[in-house]
C-alpha cells in the first residue's frame, strides 16, 4: 500500500507560488516534524450522486457547513469524483468485448477525468487539477481542488512501490483512498447515496458493497474514514472502524 509522500506538505501547505515536484513517500500518516499546518481532508463524491438533480445545492451546502464546523482551521479540502454512469459504460463494454483488466482499468480511471470536469462545473469556486503541484495554486487562489484522476494518479503510482491492481475490485473508492494516503490526508469522506450501519468496519462496508473489496487495504494509512449519505437530511457521518 502506498504511503503518503511529502507532497502533502509541499503541494498543499507549501508557500504560495511553490512548484514542487513529487518526492518518494514517507511513513504513513505522519505530520512533518515540527509542522503546525492543518491536516488535509479528501472528499470523494460518489458516482451515484452525479445524476441527482439536487447534487449542486446539497454538495455546496455540505462543503460550506464543513468550513463552519472548524472556523479558522484552514483545513484544506481536495475533492475526487467517482466514475458514475461513465464508468458503468466502461464496465458494460468490458463485459461485451472482454477488454481485459489493464484496458478496462485504464478507461475507468479516465472516466473520472470527465466526472471531475463535471463536478468542477457544479461546485462553487472550484477547479479541476491534473498534477499535485496545482493544489497549492488552488489554495492560493481560494479554490476547491477537484482531482482529474488519470494524470494525477499516474504521479502517485510512479512514486509508489505497489501500484493499484488493475481489477474491478478497485474502483474510485480505492483510488480516492490511495490519493488520500499519498497526500498524507488524515481524513477521507465518502459521500454516497446510502450510509453504513453504525459501528461498521471498513471490511464490513466492503462486504456490504458500500466500498470496493480492495478499499480496506487502500485506506490502511488514512486515520479517519467516514461515509456520509448526502441524500439524508441532515447528512450525518458514519465512521468506518479499521
Output the furthest CA–CA distance in the chain (Å, rounded). 54
Whole-number Å distance between alpha carbons of 83 and 149: 10
What's residue 39's pLDDT?
A: 79
Contact 183, 42 (CB under 8 A): yes
Domain annotation covers residue 222: yes
Of 220, 189, 214, the residue nearest 2 (C-alpha): 220
Is residue 238 within a helix (H) or strand (E), and if so which, with residue range?
A: strand 237-239
Peptide bond into 234 cis (omega under 30): yes
pTM of the prediction?
0.85
3-state SS assignment for residue 208: coil
Of the listed ranges 60-74, 114-128, 162-176, the one predicted with least confidence: 60-74
Q: What is the model's pLDDT at position 7?
A: 47
**Average pLDDT over all residues of the chain:** 86
Domain range for 201 is 37-239
pLDDT on residue 76? 86
State mean pLDDT over 199-211. Answer: 97
Q: Structural domain tally of the chain?
A: 1
Give the CATH number, domain containing residue 210: 3.40.1160.10
Q: Is residue 53 part of a domain?
A: yes
Hey, which residues does 239 pair with through a beta bridge?
Answer: 226
pLDDT in tens, 22-66: 443 333 333 333 333 457 999 999 999 999 999 999 999 999 998
What is the per-residue pLDDT across 72-111, written as a single tens digit (0 to 9) for each?
Answer: 456 789 999 999 999 999 999 999 999 999 999 999 999 9
Q: What are phi and psi of 192, to 5 degrees?
A: -135, 180
Residue 176 lies in a domain: yes
Return all residues near 210 (Cβ < 8 A) that are at least 6 apart.
Answer: 192, 194, 196, 227
Within-domain flag for 182: yes
Amino acid at each position: 500500500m502506498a504511503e503518503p509522500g511529502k507532497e502533502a506538505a509541499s503541494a498543499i501547505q507549501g508557500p504560495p507560488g511553490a512548484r514542487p515536484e513529487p518526492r518518494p513517500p514517507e511513513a504513513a500518516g505522519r505530520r512533518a516534524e515540527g509542522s503546525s499546518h492543518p491536516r488535509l481532508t479528501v472528499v470523494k463524491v460518489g458516482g451515484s450522486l452525479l445524476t441527482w438533480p439536487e447534487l449542486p445545492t446539497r454538495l455546496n451546502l455540505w462543503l460550506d457547513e464543513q468550513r463552519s464546523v472548524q472556523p479558522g482551521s484552514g483545513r484544506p479540502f481536495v475533492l475526487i469524483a467517482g466514475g458514475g454512469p461513465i464508468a458503468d459504460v466502461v464496465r458494460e463494454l468490458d463485459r461485451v468485448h472482454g477488454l481485459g483488466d489493464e484496458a478496462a482499468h485504464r478507461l475507468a480511471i479516465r472516466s473520472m477525468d470527465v466526472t471531475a470536469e463535471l463536478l468542477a462545473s457544479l461546485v462553487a469556486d472550484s477547479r479541476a487539477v491534473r498534477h499535485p503541484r496545482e493544489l497549492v495554486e488552488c489554495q492560493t487562489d481560494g479554490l476547491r481542488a477537484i482531482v482529474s484522476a488519470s494524470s494525477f494518479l499516474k504521479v502517485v503510482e510512479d512514486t509508489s512501490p505497489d501500484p493499484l491492481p488493475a481489477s474491478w475490485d478497485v474502483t474510485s473508492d480505492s483510488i480516492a483512498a490511495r490519493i488520500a494516503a499519498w497526500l498524507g490526508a488524515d481524513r477521507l469522506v465518502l459521500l454516497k447515496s446510502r450510509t453504513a450501519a453504525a459501528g461498521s468496519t471498513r471490511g464490513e462496508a466492503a462486504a456490504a458493497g458500500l466500498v470496493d473489496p480492495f478499499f480496506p487495504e487502500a485506506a490502511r494509512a488514512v486515520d479517519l474514514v467516514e461515509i456520509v449519505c448526502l441524500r439524508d437530511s441532515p447528512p450525518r457521518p458514519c465512521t468506518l472502524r479499521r
